[in-house]
Amino acid sequence: MAHFHNQQNLLFSFLLILSLTTLVSVSSHSRPYTIPSVSHLTDSFPHVTIQTAFSNAFGASNVKFLSNGSMATLALDKITGSGMVSQNRYYYGFFSAAIKLPAGLSPGVVVAFYLSNADKFPHNHDEIDIEILGHDKRNDWVIQTNVYANGSVSTGREEKFYFWFDPTEQHHYYSILWNSYHTVFFVDNIPVREFIHKNTYPFIYPSKPMSLYATIWDGSEWATHGGKYPVNYKYAPFVVSFTEMELSGCITDPNSPTSSCSKSNPLGQQDPINGAEFSKLSQQQIAAMDWARRKLMFYSYCNDVSRYKVLPAECH
């Protein structure tokens, strides 16, 4: 009888451990979320043909154009990652892509959709980043947003979020709105972060024309749990798909020292994305952003007191 009870206890313990493990490993996107309703900013701008709007940045052999150039796939394999860069530089704008991430185990893999001028200003560059970081067996893909200004890469302004959906099953929208009022990051048109521009601290905000990049690369040294889980090329190639690309804004003249909008606005009109319509979020968008930050944000540099003895000025 005692032997039977011992077996029962062992079975109970096993089931308890199994249930706890299941709870720990459940993905964020499998939880029941009531998604806020928001206006679709992505419906306000035209799609571009990726093949004509972009050039190869690196790993050209791993870049493929499909559907008459309206879709592109980028791959990471043992030899190289790959990336594209916009033909034009922009001084403010709305930038968006529908992205489908690689399926399967992807620790160390980084998919990035970002603005940068590091090629032109190597010592004081600006950057606005959406970086989507691969996962190990216990974690989902996560989205990291970041802002650099004037080369201040020593002061990271990262914020990290879980997804409320599986980003490998279909395409989802990832968007950046950048103007003189604020920088806003969107996922499926829901704002997840607003970086408000204040004259008090002008040096921390991107201020020079930037190119748009779409890339996939090996971030083994830092991407997954601080580099604990490197890329496992047994699962390569890792392929990411981009479509419904939108690039609207102030296109700068590469031969002009000033940031004019002469190409996108031949009549010299103010670029609309830098106008009053896009100067602040609507109440609906503010409520949606509050939902995303409460439910899904798990790291903000403004809460990292171990990293910053004195928090950056804009955090106060």
pTM, entire model: 0.87
Give the tens place of pLDDT for each residue, 228-265.
778 999 999 999 999 999 999 999 876 665 555 544 44
Active site residues: 127, 131
pLDDT tier at 151, thresholds 50, 70, 90 = confident
DSSP SS3 for 224: coil
pLDDT exceeds cutoff 50 at 279: yes
Identify the CA nearest to 249 among candidates 315, 178, 196, 308.
178
The pLDDT mean for the chain works out to: 86
Instruction: Supply the CATH classification number for the domain 43-315.
Output: 2.60.120.200
pLDDT exceeds cutoff 50 at 269: no
CA distances for 7 relative to 10, 18, 19, 24, 28, angstroms: 5, 16, 18, 26, 35
pLDDT at residue 19, as a whole number: 43
Asked if 132 and 271 touch (Cβ cutoff 8 Å), the reply is no
Q: Could you tell me where the DSSP H helices lie in the chain? A: 2-25, 50-53, 283-296
pLDDT average, residue stretch 162-172: 95
Q: Would you kindly state where each structural domain of the chain is located, as residue ranges?
A: 43-315
Give the tens place of pLDDT for each residue, 55-114.
999 999 999 999 999 999 999 999 999 999 999 999 999 999 999 999 988 989 999 999
pLDDT tier at 125, thresholds 50, 70, 90 = very high
